[in-house]
Amino acid sequence: MSQNQEIQKLVDGVLNKHTRYIAKAISFVENSDYKTKKSFLKTIFPYTGKAKVIGITGSPGAGKSTITDKLIRTFRDDNKSVAVLAVDPSSPFTKGALLGDRIRMQNHTTDPFVYLRSMASRGALGGLSEATKDALKVLDAAGFDIIIIETVGVGQSEIDIVKIADCVALVFAPGFGDEIQAMKAGIMEIADIYVINKADRDFSQKLFKEISDIVNLSPKQPKPSVLKTIATNAFKESGIELLKNEILSYLGHIETSSNLTKKRQSFIESELIDTVTKIMIDKVLSNQNVKNFFDSKTIAQIYNKELNFYAIIDKIVEAI
């Protein structure tokens, strides 16, 4: 079977929502270079743009995976199909997903309207895998109503989720240093909803007040909501239905106000820049005239100050 036939088979499988082909397609876009996967992505692109994309982010240990698990249940109660991309830290040896957050979502593995996938971050910064955007397109084309992206959990630099999610929920937990985290810029500025999870713990009210005070100063419209949830205690579980309703309310607001269109157009612009930049870098570095400046002799000469670092940059630019 030719490569074109193989790609068409993948496309047909994804569009018909066959789990096996969805899994194969995500592996294909995750492990292939741009030139190899371009034909597949071009073919499924017209079928994308219908799913509601929700980002769940926050510091490690805050309960992101457990909240995601509970949200799946509430969306399924509304007869919505749900796909989850859980981006995990990657093994330094195999580059595969290290934690496998799907373990916390095993209750849904037999549900044909739920698809769970762990993706390795593979060293990518910003809380997402480089292939997350492509995997998102696969799931969108497959017709899932809701796609939840749970980021790796790397701290206040974890802001790439804002480039692909229609709604971002930022999860905190008292006692995890999040009282200090709440004072930091960066991650605090990306959230559409703030969630104080493990709200049955000490200091949860203090954290709630601190975040509420920050939100009151926010210029964002609509003002982000601040909620309390208990997702990790089966006997005290609360707030998940409220969180789902707040997510849907926010999505409804930005859709009717045309802000969703603006958001998604900015996503396209950002991805165009990122994709073209990567292609151009690969193209430049494969140029033999440029490669010559990266040999061990040149590097050693720069190190020994025999050649000037910035003079070499000028020569590389001239060689392009």
Specify the range with the lowest mean pLDDT, choosing from 48-52, 151-155, 165-169, 220-224.
151-155
The confidence band for 119, taking pLDDT boundaries of 50, 70 and 90, is confident
- CA quadruple 69, 74, 79, 84: dihedral positive or negative? negative
Q: Return the residue matching tokens 């061990």.
A: 296
Specify the range with the lowest mean pLDDT, choosing from 22-36, 44-58, 120-134, 229-243.
120-134
The residue among 116 and 107 whose pLDDT is bigger is 116
Identify residue 315 by its one-letter amino acid code: K
- Distance between CA atoms of 275 and 277, rounded to whole angstroms? 5
Residue span(s) of the chain under CATH 3.40.50.300 come to 47-256
Burial class (CB in 10 A: 0-12, 13-18, 19+), 297: exposed
pLDDT score for 93 = 45
Reported in sequence order, the residue ranges of the chain that DSSP labels E, i.e. its strands, are: 52-58, 82-88, 114-120, 146-150, 167-172, 193-196, 225-228
Nearest to 260 by CA among 222, 203, 314: 222
pLDDT score for 92 = 45
The confidence band for 231, taking pLDDT boundaries of 50, 70 and 90, is confident
Is residue 86 within 8 Å of 68, Cβ to Cβ? yes
Half-sphere exposure of 299 (CA within 13 A, CB side): 5
What digits encode the pLDDT tens for the residues 152-197?
765 555 578 889 999 999 998 887 655 555 555 556 778 899 999 9
Q: Return the residue matching tokens 């007040």.
A: 209
Is residue 102 within 8 Å of 65, Cβ to Cβ? no
Is residue 29 within 8 Å of 129, Cβ to Cβ? no
Residue 116 pairs in a beta bridge with 84
* Choices 3.40.50.720, 3.40.50.300, 3.10.180.10, 3.40.50.1980: CATH for 47-256: 3.40.50.300
Q: What is the mean pLDDT of residues 283-289?
A: 89
Nearest to 144 by CA among 81, 207, 206, 99: 81
**Which one of 2-6, 142-146, 160-164, 195-199 scores highest in mean pLDDT?**
142-146
